C-alpha cells in the first residue's frame, strides 16, 4: 500500500486530489485538515472508502502520521480567507512546512509543497516563468500569504540541500471547479453565484486585470504526474496553470452569457497589491510531465462549475 498524507485534504484542491488518489486501489489516503476553510462535505465520497481516513488537526502542530508521500496543501488560499488572520496564514505556511519536512525525513517520504503563482507578486515578467524571482510587496496585505509561501519554498530547498529531504515544489495558478467554497470570495465563485442569484456582478477595479484560470482536474493530473513520474532529483519549482489569459470583464461576460443571467456589473475598489496581470508559462511542465497540458478550456470548465454551484446554492 502507498500511504499518502494530504494536508488541507478537506479544502477545494485537497479534496479533489483525495478523490482522485483513491481511484488507485494501491493508495491509502489520510486527509489532515483543521476545517478553517476546508469543509467535510467535500469529503463525502472519500469517506465511503475503507482506504481513507480523516484527521481533524492543524499543520502548525506536529502529527506523527506514517506515510510515503505528502501533499502539503494546507493553507487558506483566497485573499479574504488568508487576510482574516494574516499572522495565522504565515504560521500555517511556515510551521506547517517545517512539520511536513520533518515528517518526510522521519519516514523517508517525498513531500510536495503546494506553492503558488503569488510568489511572483505583481509580475514585471509576462508570462511568468519559474526562473522569474517575483515582485512582492513584503509589507502589504497579501504578503502574509506571498511571503509565507516563498519562505515555505526556501525551507523545502534548504531541507533538500541540508538533509537530503525528497521535495517537489509546484506553483499553482488560479484554479476553479467543483468543491470550491461558495463563500470564499474568489472571482470565479463570486461571479457564478451572483449571476445565478441575479445579483450584481462585483468587478474590482476596472476589470482589465488578467488571470489564467485552470480547471481543477487538469491541476490534479499535473500534481500526480509530478509526484510519480519525475525522477527524485527533479524538485521543481514547476508552474501548473492554464496559459489562457482573460480579463475579469471577459470572465464576467462569459459567465453572464453561459448562465443567461440579467445581472448588471457594479464596480468596486481594486484591493491593495492586486496583481495586474498573470499568465502561466507552462513550457517546463510540458517538458517534464510527459506532455502534460490543460485539457479543459474555460468555457467547458465554467459549464461544469456552474452546474456544481447551481446544485449547492
| Residue 36: active-site member | no
Task: Report the candidate in 72, 87, 71, 88 with the shortest Cα–Cα distance to residue 36.
Answer: 88
Stretch that binds ligand UDP, among 54-62, 97-105, 235-243, 269-277 (CB under 6 A): 269-277
Report the first-to-last Cα separation within the chain, whole angstroms: 38
Give the CA distances from residue 312 to residues 90, 189, 202, 303, in Å, rounded to whole numbers and listed in that order: 31, 12, 21, 15
Q: Which three cell numbers stand for residue 194?
A: 451572483
270 vs 306, beta carbon nearer ligand UDP: 270
85 vs 230, beta carbon nearer ligand UDP: 85
Using CB under 6 A as the binding rule, whether residue 174 contacts ligand UDP is answered as yes
Kindly state the smallest distance separating residue 222's Cβ from ligand UDP, in Å: 18
Single out the residue of 57, 274, 306, 308 in contact with ligand UDP (rule: CB under 6 A).
274
- Alpha-carbon distance of 7 to 2, in angstroms, equals 16
Q: Under rule CB under 6 A, how many of the chain's residues touch ligand UDP?
A: 15
Kindly state the smallest distance separating residue 78's Cβ from ligand UDP, in Å: 6
8 A C-beta contact, residue 11 and residue 38:
yes
Residues 75-94 that bind ligand UDP (CB under 6 A): 78-79
Within 8 A by CB and 6+ apart from 86, the residues are: 141, 144, 145
For 56, the 3-state DSSP assignment is strand
160 vs 209, beta carbon nearer ligand UDP: 209
8 A C-beta contact, residue 226 and residue 284:
no
Residues 207-226 that bind ligand UDP (CB under 6 A): 209, 211
Tell me, what DSSP letter sits at residue 62?
-
168 vs 279, beta carbon nearer ligand UDP: 279
Using CB under 6 A as the binding rule, whether residue 203 contacts ligand UDP is answered as yes
- Alpha-carbon distance of 273 to 86, in angstroms, equals 15
Residue written as grid cell 502539503: 72
59 vs 248, beta carbon nearer ligand UDP: 248
For 139, the 3-state DSSP assignment is coil
Determine which one of 71, 120, 145, 176 is catalytic.
145
Kindly state the smallest distance separating residue 117's Cβ from ligand UDP, in Å: 7
Single out the residue of 248, 289, 298, 302 in contact with ligand UDP (rule: CB under 6 A).
248
Q: Which three cell numbers stand for residue 259?
A: 448562465
2 vs 276, beta carbon nearer ligand UDP: 276
Where does this chain bind ligand UDP (CB under 6 A)?
78-79, 174, 186-187, 190, 202-204, 209, 211, 248, 270-271, 274
Residues classed as catalytic = 145
Amino acid at each position: 500500500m502507498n500511504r499518502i498524507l494530504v494536508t488541507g485534504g478537506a479544502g477545494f484542491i485537497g479534496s479533489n486530489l483525495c478523490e482522485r488518489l483513491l481511484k488507485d486501489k494501491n493508495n491509502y489516503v489520510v486527509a489532515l485538515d483543521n476545517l478553517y476553510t476546508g469543509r467535510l462535505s467535500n469529503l463525502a465520497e472519500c469517506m465511503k472508502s475503507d482506504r481513507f481516513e480523516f484527521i481533524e488537526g492543524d499543520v502548525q502542530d506536529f502529527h506523527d502520521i506514517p506515510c510515503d508521500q505528502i501533499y502539503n496543501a494546507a493553507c487558506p488560499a483566497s485573499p479574504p480567507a488568508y487576510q482574516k488572520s494574516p499572522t495565522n496564514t504565515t504560521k500555517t505556511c511556515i510551521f506547517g512546512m517545517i512539520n511536513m519536512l520533518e515528517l518526510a525525513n522521519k519516514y523517508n517520504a517525498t513531500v510536495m509543497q503546494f506553492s503558488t503563482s503569488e510568489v511572483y507578486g505583481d509580475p514585471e515578467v509576462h508570462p511568468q516563468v519559474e526562473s522569474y524571482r517575483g515582485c512582492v510587496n513584503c509589507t502589504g496585505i497579501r504578503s502574509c500569504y506571498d511571503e509565507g509561501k516563498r519562505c515555505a519554498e526556501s525551507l523545502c530547498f534548504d531541507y533538500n540541500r541540508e538533509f537530503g529531504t525528497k521535495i517537489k515544489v509546484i506553483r499553482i495558478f488560479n484554479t476553479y471547479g467543483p468543491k470550491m467554497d461558495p463563500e470564499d470570495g474568489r472571482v470565479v465563485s463570486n461571479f457564478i453565484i451572483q449571476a445565478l442569484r441575479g445579483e450584481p456582478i462585483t468587478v474590482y477595479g476596472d476589470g482589465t486585470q488578467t488571470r489564467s484560470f485552470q480547471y481543477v482536474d487538469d491541476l490534479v493530473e499535473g500534481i500526480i504526474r509530478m509526484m510519480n513520474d519525475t525522477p527524485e532529483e527533479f524538485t521543481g519549482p514547476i508552474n501548473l496553470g492554464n496559459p489562457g489569459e482573460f480579463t475579469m470583464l471577459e470572465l464576467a461576460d462569459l459567465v453572464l452569457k453561459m448562465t443567461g443571467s440579467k445581472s448588471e456589473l457594479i464596480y468596486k475598489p481594486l484591493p491593495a497589491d492586486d496583481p495586474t496581470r498573470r499568465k502561466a508559462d507552462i513550457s517546463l511542465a510540458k517538458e517534464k510531465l510527459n506532455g502534460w497540458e490543460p485539457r479543459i478550456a474555460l468555457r467547458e470548465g465554467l459549464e461544469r462549475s456552474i452546474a456544481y454551484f447551481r446544485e449547492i446554492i
